[in-house]
Amino acid sequence: MPQNEYIEESIRRHGRRMDHAERKRKREARQVHKDAEFAQKVHGLKAKLYNKKRHSEKIQMKKTLKMHDEKNAKQKTDDAVPDGAVPAYLLDREGQQRAKVLSNMLKQKRKEKAGKWNVPLPKVRGIAEDEMFKVVKTGKSKSKAWKRMVTKPTFVGDGFTRKPPKYERFIRPMALRYKKANVTHPELKATFQLPIIGVKKNPQSPMYTQLGVLTKGTIIEVNVAELGLVTTGGKVLWGKYAQITNNPENDGCINALLLV
């Protein structure tokens, strides 16, 4: 047990050894290698603790670097004219959604005719029938195999009535049915949970479109009434197309991007 702060006392009296700075620099330079060696070697609970500590250290480091970057970055010149001019009576009003919300109905109609959209996900992974459908054996001795169960999420419209189960070829499981999608408006940069109106096109096959299968890349029609979009004619717009951007069968939810 130290009687007093004798080290500090010694340093104060005699100074440090001549090569102190050099040794210190070398030790610090060596430290990263030592840390790396330790990080590779360590395992078990110690590794877990060490990684957690290192993770938070790295976050702190990144933040510091960013702060320095911001400090060094040149400030935007004050005389640049910002976009999105608004009249004096709309200045300082909060909750203004400053983005182009109008749709061009004509353009949308033309695209619809050609069956082509300029979509965010132009290519999709092909899904074979045996991945999409599970064969359900029927008959007394389970010898018939004409029934299929859809193994992907589906949208089933409100007015859908089942055929008699005996003759129903495709089963769309209740647990995989969806009515709502999380739709992001690309210009408003905001996400809304909107009811699905229908499946416009499933790029895999027209049959999947008919069945209302929701896979990545499917174009769905969503109800945008609550977004308050208007047409150029001044009518409230309610149906708009969106493309699914996630794999609903993996995620348990539907994320989509509004096509504007």
Partner 1 sequence: MPDAAPPILAQFQSADGQRTGPPLSLPSDVTPEQLTILINSFLSHDDPRPYSFYIDDTEIVHSVHADILSTATRSTEDTLTIVYQPQAFFKVRAVTRCSTTMTGHTEAVLSVSFSPDGSQLASGSGDTTVRIWDLTTETPRYTCRGHAKWVLAIAWAPTGRVLASGAMDNHVRLWDPATGEAVGGPLTGHKAWITSLAWEPLHINPKGTRLASSSKDGTVRVWDTTLRRCLFTLSGHTAAVTCVKWAGDGRIYSSSRDKTIKIWNPDGSLYKTLAGHAHWVNTLALSTDFALRTGATDHTARKPESEEQAREWALERYQAARGGAPERLISGSDDFTMLLWDPQASNKPVAKLCGHQKLVNHVSFSPDGRLIASASFDNSVKLWDGVTGKFLASLRGHVAAVYQVCWSADSRMLLSASKDSTLKVWDLKTKKLKIELPGHADEVYAVDWSPGGDRVASGGKDRVLKIWKH
Interface residue list for partner 1 (CB under 8 A)? 79, 81, 83-92, 100, 102, 104, 228, 230-236
Nearest distance in Å: CB 78, partner 1: 9
Pairing mode, if any, of strands 180-185 and 255-258?
Answer: parallel
Of 3 and 75, CB closest to partner 1: 75
Of 92 and 158, CB closest to partner 1: 92
Of 122 and 228, CB closest to partner 1: 228
Of 60 and 97, CB closest to partner 1: 97
Nearest distance in Å: CB 81, partner 1: 6
Nearest distance in Å: CB 181, partner 1: 24
> Which of 133, 259, 152, 151 is closest to 200 using CA atoms?
259
**Can you tell me whether residue 171 is helix, strand or coil?**
strand
177, 242 Cβ separation under 8 angstroms: no
CB atoms within 10 A of CB 113: 8
Task: Give me the sheet containing 170-171, strands edge to edge.
Answer: 133-138, 144-150, 170-171
Tokens of 73: 């970055």
Of 11 and 102, CB closest to partner 1: 102
Residue with token string 């994320």: 255
Quote the CA–CA distance of 65 and 72 in Å, as a whole number.
Answer: 11
Quote the CA–CA distance of 95 and 113 in Å, as a whole number.
Answer: 37
Nearest distance in Å: CB 100, partner 1: 7
| 257 DSSP β-pair partners | 184, 243
Nearest distance in Å: CB 108, partner 1: 14
Quote the CA–CA distance of 114 and 58 in Å, as a whole number.
Answer: 52
Of 28 and 79, CB closest to partner 1: 79
Nearest distance in Å: CB 239, partner 1: 15
